[in-house]
Structure 1
Amino acid sequence: MTRPPGAPPAPGDGVPVLEIGPEQPGLTRLLDGLRIGMVLLGVALATLIGLPLQWLSLSLKLPSRRLIPALYHRILLKLLGVRVTIIGAPAPGRPLLLLANHVSWLDICVVGSLTPLFFVAKSEVSGWPLIGLLAKFQRTIFVNRNRRSATGTVNQEIAARLGEGDPVVLFAEGTSSDGNRILPFRTALVGAVREAFATAGTVTVQPLAVTYTRIQGVPMGRRHRPLAAWYGDMDLAPHLMAVLRQGALDVEVRFGSPMALDSDHDRKSVTRAAEAEVRRLNTHAIVGRNEPA
């Protein structure tokens, strides 16, 4: 991954660890290792059961193909000790494009657990270990931005999914951040997805903020928020182990006010408005400010 401009360094792929007490004695470390092993076993079992079921559902186009990914991600979050608080709800208008910020590989599980939906991601993601598997499980559509000849096929696939009524999620920053700030949303990414809505007329665009707020019940400060964030040149395995060691993460998902994207509203202005809304929602989550009903 490319480190976001101006992001704080991630020395040696090290993930900061929240110090909450004295060094663990040997027995406690052993029990902690057993707990992590049980979590990994649970993840493996959920995957071994879920993958064939999802493959069969996709092959036969069963209604379960939309429900299995959400259930799978909820199981993973439970095993990992991640608690999700939802503020707001998806807009009822369809087709619906959710523009979200991006903090971690955990975002796929967090957002994917909310409701039947699908992601649009760059083609490189499909080859990433674990992340690519999670993305494929969620029926992600991969876009190769270097092959314009594939654009028509991709647009047809997106349009077919939208016809099922599922929202499409786009991590509009184009990369992940350190969790303390929102990177600029890329209008080109929104424009590429907008092409698939060509025959839909008005598209409902809704901002979506994902904010990691607590670790083991303690509010995350600026220093510890990268415990959840996966960005820059961090390797996945050490970050995964750090998440397993710490556990008990709290994340807030906040839906913003929907807006229209049509012939009267250009993608740049809508993208910038969505970015500003996600920044506001993210700030409110960090300081613990509740949104009005």
Structure 2
Amino acid sequence: MPAPRHSAAPHPAAAPASPWQPSAPCSPHSCIDAAASMAAVPLAVLRFAAVLTLMVAGSALLPVVRRLPVAPRERIIRTWSRAVVRATGVRVRITGSAPPHGGLLVVANHISWLDIPLLAAVRPGRMLAKSDIRKWPVAGALTALSGALFIDRNRLRALPETVARIAGGLRAGSTVVVFPEGSTWCGRAQGRFRPAVFQAALDAGAPVQPVRLHYRHDGGPAGTAAAFVGSDSLLTSVWRVLTARGLVAEVWVTPVLAPGSAPDRRGLALAAQRAVESAKNARQDPYACL
């Protein structure tokens, strides 16, 4: 892999706000390589309208969908989530599948706000999200309605309680989705998986599902247009995706790590990180895009 463009000093906005809140050295100025043309604007406006329509419809229908039996509910959420990503103009390619039933801790590398619907397209679950997401227009309300577990990452004392809540959800048979890097990266490099949340899987005796997320340009190398990093605003990142050409989101669902496959949370975190890193070498069907 070529040397990451963000290997320079971290952007000032990336400074950690607490002892356990990691940050990536990525910034929009040093890492993002996408440029939009005026010709892309009309199509981007149509894409934005489609995404907004899907988000509003999802917010309105979610209370009804949540009352459905598990199988049809998850099928609807997976279809809707994939539709949201496709509405942005990003093609979706998923390799592998997650277990259909039982408590499951889904962990993935973190690049973009698109990661959230992409993982819901694999297996819908409760997202562990920073409290700031509540303030996002439309998406914040939808995330809250979905049963997300919000955490204030500025409060170190909140960590044990959060781990206990995740373990409780896993014991109840829920899927809990976590980005253990704790921060978004531009996609050319990856952060270290922090071990704290893996304690919840150990406490609950639940399996861990590592997933690798990757964005590239169709027929080309990895791209950073989808990255949401540093001082980027949500609207700026969304617009960059909407005006990009030929973006493909690739999702590798790697083999599940069974309970007891690692002696402690650090070993489990390292095993999950290695599974995600090694997935980039997997072979894929070039015609599997949707």
1:17 maps onto 2:18 in alignment: no
CA deviation after TM superposition for structure 1 residue 277, in Å: 1.4
CA-to-partner distance for each residue in 1:59-116, whole Å, 9 max, x for gaps?
xx33365454333222211211222211122146732212210010110121112233
Instruction: Identify if the C-alpha distance between structure 1 residues 257 and 48 changes in structure 2 by more than 3 Å, giving closer, same or farther.
Output: closer
SS of the residue corresponding to residue 122 of structure 2 reads coil
In angstroms, what is the RMSD of aligned CA positions?
A: 3.3
Residue of 231, 235, 244 corresponding to 1:233: 231
Instruction: Identify if the C-alpha distance between structure 1 residues 121 and 162 changes in structure 2 by more than 3 Å, giving closer, same or farther.
Output: farther
Match of residue 205 from structure 1? 208
Larger displacement relative to structure 2 (152-161 or 256-265):
152-161
Q: Structure 1 stretches (4+) deviating beyond 6 angstroms? A: none
CA deviation after TM superposition for structure 1 residue 158, in Å: 6.0
Quick check: which has more Rg, 1 or 2?
1
CA-to-partner distance for each residue in 1:189-236, whole Å, 9 max, x for gaps?
333x34xx64x4x321121101113x2x23134xxx221111122122
CA distance in 1, matches of 2:180, 2:129: 10
1:172 maps onto 2:190 in alignment: no
SS of the residue corresponding to residue 91 of structure 2 reads strand
Match of residue 110 from structure 1? 118
CA-to-partner distance for each residue in 1:100-142, whole Å, 9 max, x for gaps?
1001011012111223322222323323445534533543221
CA distance in 1, matches of 2:185, 2:261: 32
1:49 maps onto 2:49 in alignment: no
SS of the residue corresponding to residue 190 of structure 2 reads coil
CA distance in 2, matches of 1:98, 1:158: 13
Alignment-mate amino acid for residue 235 of structure 1: S
Percent identity reads: 27
Match of residue 218 from structure 1? 219
SS of the residue corresponding to residue 106 of structure 2 reads strand
Q: Contact 2:24–2:191 (CA<8 Å) still a contact in 1?
A: no
Aligned length: 264
SS of the residue corresponding to residue 92 of structure 2 reads strand
Q: Contact 1:73–1:110 (CA<8 Å) still a contact in 2?
A: yes
CA distance in 2, matches of 1:157, 1:269: 19
Residue of 64, 68, 74 corresponding to 1:62: 68
Q: Contact 2:14–2:24 (CA<8 Å) still a contact in 1?
A: no
Alignment-mate amino acid for residue 175 of structure 1: S
Match of residue 127 from structure 1? 135
Instruction: Identify if the C-alpha distance between structure 1 residues 248 and 255 changes in structure 2 by more than 3 Å, giving closer, same or farther.
Output: same
Instruction: Identify if the C-alpha distance between structure 1 residues 258 and 114 changes in structure 2 by more than 3 Å, giving closer, same or farther.
Output: closer
Instruction: Identify if the C-alpha distance between structure 1 residues 188 and 157 changes in structure 2 by more than 3 Å, giving closer, same or farther.
Output: closer
Q: Contact 1:108–1:135 (CA<8 Å) still a contact in 2?
A: no
For 1:242-253, list aligned pairs within 5 A: 242-253=240-251
Give me the TM-score of the superposition, normalised by structure 2: 0.76
Q: Contact 1:99–1:206 (CA<8 Å) still a contact in 2?
A: yes
Gaps of 5+ in 1: none
Gaps of 5+ in 2: 1-12, 16-21, 286-290
1:95 maps onto 2:87 in alignment: no
For 1:254-293, list aligned pairs within 5 A: 254-262=252-260, 265-282=263-280, 284=281, 289-290=283-284
